[in-house]
């Protein structure tokens, strides 16, 4: 994808979130035109401690094929997973277009270093690869998570409104035992306390929140992403026995 198309600048990012009962971790790298921003967060549910950082440039973040690493003086994150084909969607956006690929429920292994302690990590997560020539003003709400269905099968989900949200051929997906299935339009509560889709209803209990409000003249961003737990039901998967993940609300001028 070239740097410009139809008068719009290319925006692209890669994000991985690993969600579980002890630790939740996310690592991301975003590029808007020539500018680069790296970010990471670690929510230690046992200690009740949130560590996070967002920096211009890489900020210690490196991605490879099936790897994500953070190396700073205080925190180290080392994640590995097997890349899967994922669910890909291309959506028209005015004179531009946007692409995304989501991998749900991928098995992630690695380690986390924080507070002088090194901890092994093994869990499931969601990988988001996105790029596009989005409208100058773009807003979305998003939820990604993993868990266990009532019958014991692993489940993961990616629900969104605002981007790639056509009634059909959307990025909205539930993975049940590794098999992806598209679901209908999603409806988010204003306070991100729940999201409904196709007869399913997930209720969300926020525990720790990443939040940024940036005004960089040409780029403005209002961003809220809480980590937490989910109860309720999902299309195709039914009632959850356990659910962990994030909600997100993002409005951006770029």
Is 146:26 a contact under the CB 8 Å cutoff?
no
Look up the pTM and report it: 0.96
Q: Please, what is the average pLDDT of the chain?
A: 96
Average pLDDT over residues 148-161: 98
Instruction: Answer whether residue 4 shows pLDDT above 80.
Output: yes
Q: What is the CA 221 to chain-centroid distance, rounded?
A: 17
How far is the C-alpha of 80 from the C-alpha of 160, rounded, in Å? 26
Q: What pLDDT does residue 200 have?
A: 97
What confidence score (pLDDT) does residue 215 get? 85
pLDDT at res. 214: 85
- What's the rounded Cα separation, in Å, for the pair 160 and 197? 10
> What's residue 105's pLDDT?
97
Confidence band of 184 (pLDDT split at 50, 70, 90) = very high
Q: What share of the chain is helix, strand, coil (3-state, %, to 5)?
A: 0, 75, 25
Q: Residue 115: pLDDT above 90?
A: no
pLDDT for res 16:
98
């Amino acid at each position: 994808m070239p740097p410009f198309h139809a008068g719009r600048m290319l925006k692209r990012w890669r994000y991985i979130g690993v969600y579980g009962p002890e630790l939740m971790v996310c690592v991301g790298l975003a590029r808007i035109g020539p500018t680069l921003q790296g970010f990471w967060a670690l929510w230690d549910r046992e200690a009740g401690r949130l560590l996070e950082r967002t920096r211009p440039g890489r900020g210690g973040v490196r991605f490879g094929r099936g790897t994500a690493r953070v190396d700073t003086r205080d925190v180290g994150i080392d994640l590995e997973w097997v890349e899967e084909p994922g669910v890909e969607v291309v959506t028209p956006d005015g004179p531009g277009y946007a692409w995304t690929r989501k991998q749900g429920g991928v098995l992630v292994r690695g380690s986390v270093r924080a507070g002088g302690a090194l901890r092994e990590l093994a869990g499931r997560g969601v990988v988001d690869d996105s790029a596009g020539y989005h409208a100058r003003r773009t807003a979305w709400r998003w939820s990604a998570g993993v868990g266990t269905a009532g019958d014991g099968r692993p489940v993961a989900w990616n629900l969104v409104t605002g981007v790639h949200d056509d009634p059909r051929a959307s990025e909205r997906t539930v993975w049940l035992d590794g098999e992806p299935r598209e679901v209908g339009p999603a409806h988010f509560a204003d306070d991100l306390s729940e999201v409904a889709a196709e007869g399913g209803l997930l209720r969300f209990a926020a525990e720790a929140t990443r939040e940024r409000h940036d005004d960089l003249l040409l780029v403005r961003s209002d961003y809220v992403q809480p980590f937490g737990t989910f109860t309720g039901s999902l299309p195709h998967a039914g009632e959850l026995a356990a659910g962990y993940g994030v909600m997100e609300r993002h409005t951006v001028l770029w």
